Each structure stands twice: as structure tokens, then as C-alpha cells.
Structure 1
Amino acid sequence: MKLSICFLLFATSVLAQKPFGQNPQVGKYATIRGFNMYYESYGSGEPLLLIHGNSGSIADFTNQIPFFSQHYRVIIADNRSHGKSIDTKDSLSYEMMADDFAGLLDHLKIDSAQVIGWSDGGINGLLLASRHPKKVKKLAITGANLTPDAGVSVDPWVVENENHYVDSLSHLPASLENKRLIKLHHMMQVQPQIRPSVLAKIQCPTLVIGGDHDVIVPRHTLEIAELIPKSYLWILPNSGHSTPIYYKDIFNSIVLDFLKSPYRKIEKHAKFF
């Protein structure tokens, strides 16, 4: 009992000392596929990989790390070309980033993990589960899309806004930071391009999440769930894209229940209950 209390106090102090993404006590670098990937790890037990979205960082999951580290060994990295994971190459794709996370798990000698992805992190999660199926035990994604098409998968205003933003960046003085931002946002203009057959390869249980007023069209979120063989669908009412922030408590609770509970196939008479 005393050991458990001491460990809890130590874990709490580590969580409290530095902001997530800026914690030298737990932060490390791994050489992954040609760049240095920065990651942090919290808690112990079964591994849980968190993947943030475009232009984000480890800090995006500030509301999730303390909660899930009570149940799992939480592993979270700055994606390629984000935060401290600097990559100056011109090319970038979701497939590259999905393979990066497979490489990170290999580096950590983790055969498979639970995975939570938000926005572009959800896209990376889908590709990780399809390209490296043995790496993902269960997958929860929120605000993911299969294409960048206006009105079909993404709110038309968002597409228009991205176009204006990239155009404005292209007129600014050249710098490494502007080059990085153009690379990230141009990727969102033309990617992803995920075919339905790719989702059919996902064999792990998957929870597909979205807001009813998400920048991702809700019917597209439904389409993603329908294409994955073992899926649940959860559309939050009165919600936009930032479900892990504005609905953090219910988000954490529902996702944890999904991760902890066996997948239930619902058919025939079970659909009445």
C-alpha cells in the first residue's frame, strides 16, 4: 500500500511539474525514419498511443494525459514536422506519419497498442490500423476524414479558408517556419485520399467520433464507421471539432469504456436492445 501511494505521489508530481510537451523529466527523442521524433510517456501498464492533429502538439491532449495515464502507459509524440519533431524535408503525407508511429512503437519494443487520434491524428490512426494492423488493438478517432473534398467530407467554408491561408503564406518572406506551415496546410488541401478498401482492412474494434456541427461533415463520419468492419459510431450533440477539449469528461469516460470493454457485435435481435 505504501509503495502504491508513493508511486501515485511521484506520478502526480511528474505530471504537475512541466506542461505536456515541455517536460524534460519524461521527454525523449527517437530516431525514426530519418528524423528525430520527440515523445513523452506517462503512467504504466498497457500502452496507449495518442496522436494529435495538424499544426498541433503533445499539449493538445492536456485533458486526456492525466486521465488515461491512471489506466495505461500513455505514449504521445509531436508528429513529424510538428513541435519538437523537426523535419525540414519538402514532402509530407499521412501515410508517412502513420509509418512514423509504427516505427516509434518498434523503437519502444511495443508489439501493439490502443490508439486515440484526433483530427489528422484520426487519419493517422486509420492508416496505422490499415497499414500495420498488428500494431493496433483498438482505435478511437474523432474528427477524421478520408478526402479533403468540400461539402462531401469537409465543411466548404473550411476548405475556402485553408485555400486563403496557404495563399497568404505563399506571399510572406521565405523562412523555415513559413515553409513548414505551407507544407502542413498544403497537405490538408490535397490529402488524404483514402479509398473505402483501405478501411475494409481495419480489423481492430474502432470507435468513430464526431460532433454534429463538426468541420467534418457528420454524414462523412457515419460513412467512415460503416466502412470499418468492427465499428461503433458516436456523434456528440451540440459539438464541433474539439470533442477532447469541450467535452473532455464524457469523451474520456466513453473512450475508456470502449477501450476496456470487449467489442460487441450487434445484429438481429440484439438491435432491439
Structure 2
Amino acid sequence: MSYVEVDGLRLWYEEHGEGRPLVLLHGGFGAVETFGAILPALAGRRRVIAVDLQGHGRTADVDRPLRYESMADDVAALISRLGLTEVEVLGYSLGGGVALRTAVQHPALLRRLVVVSAPCRRRGWYPEVLAGMPEPDEAAGERMRGTPPHQLYARIAPRPGDWPRLWAKTGELLRRDYDWSAEVAALTVPTLLVFADGDSVTTAHMVEFFGLLGGGHRDAGWDGTDRPASRLAVLPGLTHYDIVASPALPAVVLPFLTRPARAPG
């Protein structure tokens, strides 16, 4: 458990387990504790490196906006600083966007990518989810005091008083439009998309996202040889908010990470 200096940011990370490195990136208003329920399963097969992103958890904010792109550069700098190669990256929700941008901006660093409950374009969220995205601001942060995310932040953040600021900066990020479809279509890293069947991302976008990665265009053939390198998993009985704590998540992630590159089936 330590900090690393990256572009003026003291980025918190902690390591668990042994084996091939797997970087974990939490969702908005979270921290490495987001993965507490599934960490033992992942660390049993991987050297897990869990990160607190800018302004979250133990990583204090700095004087720059929250952007998927800059947080991806932070992750890449951490990977390089630790001397890691052929890294696997798993990101959930906001962290899923950061993981995807890491693959786009620094493709040579990644062996595998796992995106959990995150779209590749803003309009992949359901309309009612988008309608709520203008809300995060300092006032919303004040209303969230006493909730579990705030209790965690108050316990571990270097500056607990920055809680309203985190909400305001996150709100500004969420209101920005984006569409990374063309960059996703150009990715070559094998990618696993994981969603809940009750996710905040539309089912139509799940299929669209998978299609950009080469999936869903043809029958895989009797022996699976025409199956793409990337995969899509939709986990039943879960939502955007509980998928990251479900044992079903490592159950689909670990086989994907451990299979030979571009092997069928």
C-alpha cells in the first residue's frame, strides 16, 4: 500500500496476491474498497493493483478537472512506474470509462481489458440516468453526507472536506458528451464487456458496444473458430449498483483473463 507521484498527483494504490498484474479501477465516489467483496477471488489468481483515482479515496484532488483521459494517463504512468508489462485492466462504471481510455491511449501496456457497466458513448446510458447526471454538484454532495460512500470518504480521504468538491467536479465530467465508438472499433486488445441485465446502460448499447469490438456479426461456427477475441457477458438478476459485489463477476472475468490469446471458446 503506497503512493506514487504521477503528473503532480499522489496516486494511491495497493497490492494483493501474486501472478500476472491486474489493475482495478473503481466507480464514481468509490475507492479500492469498492472491490472488497470480490478481491479475494481475484487476488487468488492475480497480482491485483487497486487504485484510488483522482479526488477519490486516499488520492487527494489536484487543480485540474476530472477527465477520463487524464485519469487514464495517471493509470498508464502508474503501470510504467511499477515496471509492469502485459497488464490486465478492469474498470467499473466511471472506472470502466477510465479503463477504456487507458486501452485507447496506451494500447501497448494492456494484455486484456475488462469494462464493467460502462458505455463507450454517453448516450449509451438510459435516458433517466442521463437526466439525473446534471444533479451532481456541491449541494448534492452535502445531501449525501452520512451515506455509506461519504462515510468511507470521511474515514480515508486526506482532506475529508473535499467531499462537495468531488461531487461538483464529477457532475461537470458527467455532463460532458463523448462518443468513443471509432476508437473502440480500432482496438486490438481482447476485451470483455460485462453488464447486469438490470444495468443503467441500455441493452441496445451493450450489443452496439460488442459489435464495435467485432462481436455479434456472424455465427461462430461449430468449433468456435469464427468467434471474436472479445466477449460479452450479461449477468442475470443484478443491477449497475450491485454487480461489482457479485461472485458472478469474477466467475466470468477470471476465465477470460486466463484463456490463451485469441483462443476460440
| Shift in alpha-carbon separation, 1:134–1:237, aligned structure 2, 3 A | same
Residue 192 of structure 2 aligns with which residue?
Answer: 207
Residue 25 of structure 2 aligns with which residue?
Answer: 51
Q: In percent, how many aligned pairs have the same letter?
A: 28
Matched, 1:35 2:35: no
**Alignment partners' CA distance in 1, 2:247 and 2:166:** 33
**Alignment partners' CA distance in 1, 2:136 and 2:75:** 28
Bigger relative contact order, structure 1 or 2 (CA pairs below 8 A, ≥6 apart)? 2
**Quick check: which has more Rg, 1 or 2?**
1
Matched, 1:240 2:239: yes
Equivalent residues of 2:93, 2:118 under 8 A apart = yes
Residue 259 of structure 2 aligns with which residue?
Answer: 261
Provide the secondary structure at the position in 2 that maps to 1:164.
coil
CA deviation profile, 1:178-216 (whole Å, cap 9, x unmatched): 22210012211214x133221123211111111122111
Residue 106 of structure 1 aligns with which residue?
Answer: 80
Residue 82 of structure 1 aligns with which residue?
Answer: 56
Describe how 1:38-187 pairs up with structure 2 within 5 A: 38-149=12-123, 153-166=124-137, 168-169=139-140, 176-187=162-173
Provide the secondary structure at the position in 1 that maps to 2:11.
strand
TM-aligned CA deviation for residue 41 of structure 1: 0.4
Residue 202 of structure 2 aligns with which residue?
Answer: 217
| Counterpart code for 2:213 | I
Equivalent residues of 1:144, 1:221 under 8 A apart = no
Where in structure 2 are there 5+ consecutive unaligned residues?
Answer: 144-160, 215-228
**Alignment partners' CA distance in 2, 1:42 and 1:170:** 31
CA RMSD in angstroms comes to 2.1
Where in structure 1 are there 5+ consecutive unaligned residues?
Answer: 1-26, 267-272
**Alignment partners' CA distance in 1, 2:50 and 2:114:** 15
| Counterpart code for 2:239 | G
Q: How many residues align?
A: 233
| Counterpart code for 2:126 | D
Equivalent residues of 1:105, 1:112 under 8 A apart = no
Residue 227 of structure 1 aligns with which residue?
Answer: 212
| Shift in alpha-carbon separation, 1:144–1:83, aligned structure 2, 3 A | same
TM-score (normalizing by structure 2): 0.81
TM-aligned CA deviation for residue 222 of structure 1: 1.6
**Alignment partners' CA distance in 2, 1:72 and 1:177:** 32
**Alignment partners' CA distance in 2, 1:110 and 1:234:** 28
CA deviation profile, 1:133-188 (whole Å, cap 9, x unmatched): 11110111111112333xxx11222222232343844999xx64322210012211
Equivalent residues of 1:143, 1:221 under 8 A apart = no
Equivalent residues of 2:137, 2:169 under 8 A apart = no
Provide the secondary structure at the position in 1 that maps to 2:30.
coil
Residue 23 of structure 1 aligns with which residue?
Answer: none
| Counterpart code for 1:214 | D
